Structure 1
Amino acid sequence: MPEWLHVAFRAIIFLIILFFITKALGKKQLTQISFFEYVTGITIGSIAGEVIMGLDGSIWNGIVGMLIYGIIPFGIGVLSLKSKKVRDYVDGKGTIFIKDGKVMEDNLKKERYSADELLELLRKKDVFQMADVEFALLEPTGDLSVLLKKENRPITAKDLGLITPNEKEPQTVIMDGKVLNEALSTTGRNRGWLERELDKLGVSLENVYLAQVDTYGQLTVDLFDDKIQVASPEEKPLLLAMMKKCQADLELFCLATEAEEAKEMYHRNSLRLEQIINKLTPYLKN
């Protein structure tokens, strides 16, 4: 057999083995790599490369070596889930870089980080002024977690005393011009509803690249043809307009009637509806 066929055969074999080893070790290998996993990954790659190109060596020796380096981190991962001591030793602990608004210089030196590198990590978190930071922790994965001072944090609905409804994740109901029936049924709707909503927007199913249904049941679409303009969903604005019309009608009824009891009832309900409208306006505007 020609040499290049040997190389191709070994490359395919080890690609398959590497794939299954990586799948067994989990997605953590792709994102949060510890020191131990980093060394293991390099070693497995080196073994694979050596056996693929080293035609004089036995392919089975390489497979055994890779399996050993796959089994060991798998076992360490299982132990780490059960023991915090093992987890702290293998994965490492976080290091405080900023505490109470003050930089921990000794911790920076311990992790071999300079002030410039600290500022770079802060900029990656969209923080350009160190004085805005209350607490910053270097995670074992190398990411910097940042807690801003109270006055520098974005205002939330809770800060304003607003009660917001829970939102569910949008469901993708059309992809590449094809209806995803499972996602559509998750929203509690059917193809008939979907076709009616597409008719309202004036688009055909075949021209829809992506379509999603949000928490409020509104359908948003993106078309293959980017030159076509699609109208925004109007359910929420229409509901807001209807509520305002009802409130205006109550005021008109109040002015039109001569009966004091009816006048008071219309006025009282108009004020109640106005309060509801004021609370819902931020959520019903597109």
Structure 2
Amino acid sequence: MLDWIEVVIRSFSIIIGLFVITKILGKKQLSKLSFFEYIVGITIGDIAGTLSMDLGLNVMHGLISIFIWSLFPVAISFLSLHNKKFRDFVEGNSTVFIKNGKIMEDNLKKEKYTLDELLEQLRKKDVFKFADVEFATLETNGDLSVLLKKEKQPLSVEDVINNPPAIKEPQTVVMDGQIFDEPLTTIGLNRRWLKEELDKKGVAIENVFLAQVDSYGQLTIDVYDDKIEIPKPQAKQLLLASIKKCEADFELFALQTKNRTAKDMYARNAQKLQDMQIKLTAYLEH
């Protein structure tokens, strides 16, 4: 057999074998690999590359070596999954670097972590003052997890509105000019609604590269020609304007009526709508 033909056969066989091994090992991301799993991956790749090119090596011996190296992480993952003590021994435990805004110097020395490295990791988390940190820990994969103090955390919808409505994932209804009926049906819409919305924006379906509908029924589209400006959805702004109009109407009714009971009712409702505006303005303006 010609040498180059043997190299091709070996390479294809090893690629298929590595693909099978990768499927067996699972979908763990590279950043989540332990140090041992990282070393195993490099070693298997080195063995596979050498086995593909060095025709003097016995293919079966190489495959046995790859199998043994692949067997270890599978066995370790299985034992780690069912035994916490073994998992702690193999993967280690997280290390607290900051607690209650105070840096734990002994833990930094234990992990051979310098202050410069700690501050660099904090900056990557958009934290520039260690005193703003309530809790920071070095995870077993080397990532730094940071919890800011309550007063330093960004405002969330839950801080403004009690029991905010759940937001569902946006549905892709058009891709490459092709309409998907199933996502439209999932959110209770149809092709007629989609065509009407596209007509409002002055866009033909064949010119749509991607279109999505969010949980509020707003259609967002991207067209093939990037020079075309597509009007942004106005549903939220219209809702805010409607709330303001209702408040103004109630205030007007309160001024016009002479009935004391009705005047108080209109005033109360106007105040409720005003409170609602304060809570929703930041959300509905975007």
Q: TM-score, normalised by structure 1?
A: 0.88
Q: Percent identity?
A: 56
1:221 corresponds to: 221
Check 1:239–1:130 CA distance in 2 against 1; reply closer, same or farther (3 A cut).
Answer: closer
Secondary structure class of the residue paired with 1:188: coil
Matched, 1:210 2:237: no
Q: 1:197 to 1:80 in 2, by over 3 A?
A: same
Aligned-pair CA distance for 1:170:
1.9
Q: Please say if residues 22 and 29 of structure 1, whose CA atoms lie closer than 8 Å, have aligned partners that are also in contact.
A: no
Name the stretch that deviates more: 269-278 or 37-46: 269-278
CA distance in 1, matches of 2:128, 2:179: 45
Partner letter of residue 2 of structure 1?
L
CA distance in 2, matches of 1:22, 1:177: 36
Gaps of 5+ in 1: none
Native 8 Å contact 2:161 2:279 kept in 1: no
Partner residue, 2:193:
193
Matches within 5 A, 1:235-246: 235-246=235-246
Q: Contact 2:47 / 2:66 at 8 angstroms: preserved in 1?
A: yes
Pair 133,279 (structure 1): closer, same or farther in 2 beyond 3 Å = closer
Supply the distance in 1 between the matched residues of 2:230 and 2:206 (Cα, whole angstroms).
15
The normalised TM-score by structure 2 is 0.88
Q: 1:78 corresponds to which residue?
A: 78
What displacement does 1:15 show? 1.4
| Residues 58-97 of structure 1: pairs in structure 2 closer than 5 A | 58-97=58-97
Deviation at 1:250, TM superposition (A): 3.7
- In the other structure, the counterpart of 2:117 is 117
Matches within 5 A, 1:135-214: 135-160=135-160, 163-214=163-214
Per the TM alignment, residue 91 of structure 1 is displaced from its structure 2 partner at its CA by: 1.7
Q: What letter matches 2:96 in structure 1?
A: I
Residue 214 of structure 1 deviates from its aligned partner by 1.4
Residues in 2 aligned to 1:50 and 1:60: alpha-carbon distance in whole angstroms? 13
Amino acid at match of 1:16: I
CA offsets, 1:163-182, max 9 Å, x none? 53222222222223222333
CA distance in 2, matches of 1:15, 1:157: 49
> Bigger CA drift: 65-74 or 81-90?
65-74
Between stretches 108-117 and 194-203, larger displacement belongs to 108-117
My pick for the range that moved more, 57-66 or 118-127, is 57-66
Query: Quick check: 2:160–2:279 contact (8 Å CA) kept in 1?
Result: no
1:249 is matched with: 249
Range that drifts further, 97-106 or 16-25 = 97-106
Q: Which runs of 5+ in 2 are unaligned?
A: none
SS at match of 1:31: helix
Shift of the 259–30 alpha-carbon distance from structure 1 to 2, 3 Å rule, reads same
1:39 and 2:39 are equivalent in the alignment:
yes
Distance 1:268 1:101 in 2: 45
DSSP-derived class of the 1:43 partner: helix
The corresponding residue for 2:21 is 21
Alignment correspondent of 2:282: 282
Q: What is the rounded CA distance, in whole Å, between the counterparts of 1:131 and 1:274 in structure 2?
A: 38
Q: Deviations over 1:173-215 (max 9, x none)?
A: 2223222333333322222222211111111222222222112
What letter matches 2:125 in structure 1? K
Is contact 1:211–1:219 with CA below 8 Å preserved after alignment?
yes
- Structure-2 change in CA distance of 1:124 and 1:111 (3 Å): same
Deviation (angstroms), 1:230 = 0.7
Equivalent position amino acid for 2:144 in 1: L
Between 173-182 and 3-12, report the one with greater CA deviation.
173-182
Residues 100-132 of structure 1, C-alpha deviations (whole Å, 9 max, x = no match): 323233322322222222222112111222232
